[in-house]
A and B are shown apart, each in its own frame.
Chain A
Amino acid sequence: MSTISDVDHPQEGPGELVLRLRGISKNFGAVSALADVDLDVHAGEVVALVGDNGAGKSTLVKILAGVHQPTSGTIAFDGEHVVLSDPATALGLGIATVFQDLALCENLDVVANIFLGRELNPIRLDEVSMEIRAWTLLNELSARIPSVREPVASLSGGQRQTVAIARSLLTEPKLILLDEPTAALGVAQTAEVLDLIERVRARGLGVIVISHNMEDVRAVADRIVVLRLGRNNGEFGPDVSNQDLVTAITGADENSVSRRASRRGAQQSQEVRP
């Protein structure tokens, strides 16, 4: 499949600008959850959004998903200013969100879940067309789903994530938001989902990934955007050191990561000396 071979040859430089946030602020009463946040996402680019608890990641994702509206600031999608007044508007523009809990119906099969709320032919469901489309989507993602006619309850965590992502791709979005896609997964399943993210990127979509896992972030992201206390606090490439990232996230040079690093450095220099 042509889309998959692209994985080995990532696009040279990012594609055109898909999303452009400028000066986004969000206040909940007296609390300012986001203050003056900027963010750019290009087509065929994975941007990781990292930050400590309460840094504003989830608020930002909810603004992009149309769940919350920003207090101030501008959102440009595909070069045009947009107002994301509700989730349907965001989805209609081409912003798909996969929330952390996936929101799948375990009693329904994979096809029914992928097409939930968007079934073909409402008064006489077109099961054949839906099944073909489901297989096409899953094959494009090289997904390892044994059967699309099994209830989702019988799938593993990674497979469920795959189904959730395939469902978000059904509407042909330009930007896809993944909220903690690897949080509940084991090692092998995490690798599977990271592969999946690369394939989504290879399809030319912009991807925003929220994660707490620095390893995953560096494995898959083209750019890492750090939020701290609701503000931009640095932007890094995938080759950034763990310590620099932690420093940007926590805002302190002095922490357990830096202490251990300096201890190790000191130890190594001692070992070298004699």
Chain B
Amino acid sequence: MSDQGIKSRPKYQPIAPDPQGRHHLLVVDGPEVPTEALAEGVTPSAFEVWTVARKSAVPGSAAMDEEAGAVRVFRAVPHLFSALEERLARETMGLRLYAAGPETFLWDANGIGARAGLSRQEMAFAHVGAQARRIFCVHCRTVMEGVTTSITTCAGCGAPLFVRDHFSRRLAAFMAVQVDAEVPGEVPPAEELYS
């Protein structure tokens, strides 16, 4: 059940800077760039890197270094995303945006990039870390974070939900549908698939 053969399931590749790009900004959900997020032979120095320390004591970024090799550390993911929105709003054509981290982080970054006008050709993502899913109950529209099982109970409407591979880039979430719609009460056992 882990590969449902659904085409919207995103595929990821290790990141390499696009040779067509003029400037490369890599945002990472973590304190440093995971080696497995980068293609062979690519080093973090090819990018301007933004990381998330998940602590309050972060070094202040001296000057606003906006060049390859510069590293800027943020307290938390919302802190990084807020700065990313401001940065993209004043960027010019030629920028490429890359993200490494769990899927939720990648697709939230994708949404910020798309709203700023970046196309798919100008962004690339590497999935590293947790496999847990953000899911969207298609019946009541409740969004749940960190789902690791094939079947779960909707926090909004209580429906037993099957977590599909069907992925919405707009919502950055997997679609979840009522599993016992045809035979009420017939709910298969949940499998731990996405931990």
B partners with A = no
Residues of chain B whose beta carbon lies under 8 Å from any beta carbon of chain A = none
